Amino acid sequence: MYTYQVKIKLHDTDAAGLLFFSHQFELIHDAYEALLENIGFGFAELIKNKNYFLPIVHAESDYKLPLFVGDLIEIQVTVEKVGNTSFTFAYKLLNAKQQLVGTARTVHVTMDKATKKKIPLPKEMRVKIDDLYSVDH
């Protein structure tokens, strides 16, 4: 499991100071980016120097408890599934009291930059994601 912490900022909220629903996706994507960087696949490197992309082909999110501006949250990221051309990450959002405030899931497919077709996960990435998966299961 990878853990990411963040504070809810004013620009993440609506007029009532409550987390705006779509911003939960931004928060989990920040956690996803931090995880990839942590395992050696930062987006700058991927975009500039690799021959593949990792588009999200499915995303879902549930909201369990409200979050307000100033709340500190922890996002726990786990590898739910690893396929030949894709992987699925699951996210748990916890407030400062460690209460579950939200969940999410994203499915990522490896796509060749030139052909725009699905390709197998690159070996070096597969090893790192498999390592995370084995720790999570």
Q: Where are the domains of the chain?
A: 2-136
Smallest CA-to-CA distance from 20 within 29, 28, 11 is with 11
Could you give the C-alpha distances from 65 to 22, 30, 34, 68, 76, in angstroms and in order? 15, 20, 24, 10, 16
Q: How far apart are CA 73 and CA 54, in angstroms?
A: 26
Write out the two tokens for 113.
């930059």
The arrangement of secondary structure in 2-136, i.e. its CATH architecture, is Roll (3.10)
Q: Residue 90: left (phi > 0), alpha (psi -120 to 50), or beta?
A: beta
Give the active site residue among 12, 14, 62, 71.
14
CA gyration radius, the chain:
16
* Per-residue pLDDT of the chain in tens (137 residues, 90 and over written 9): 899 999 999 999 998 889 999 999 999 999 999 999 999 999 898 889 999 999 999 999 999 999 999 999 999 999 999 999 999 999 999 999 999 999 999 999 999 999 999 999 999 999 999 888 777 66
Q: How far apart are CA 92 and CA 52, in angstroms?
A: 28
Q: Is 62 known to be catalytic?
A: no
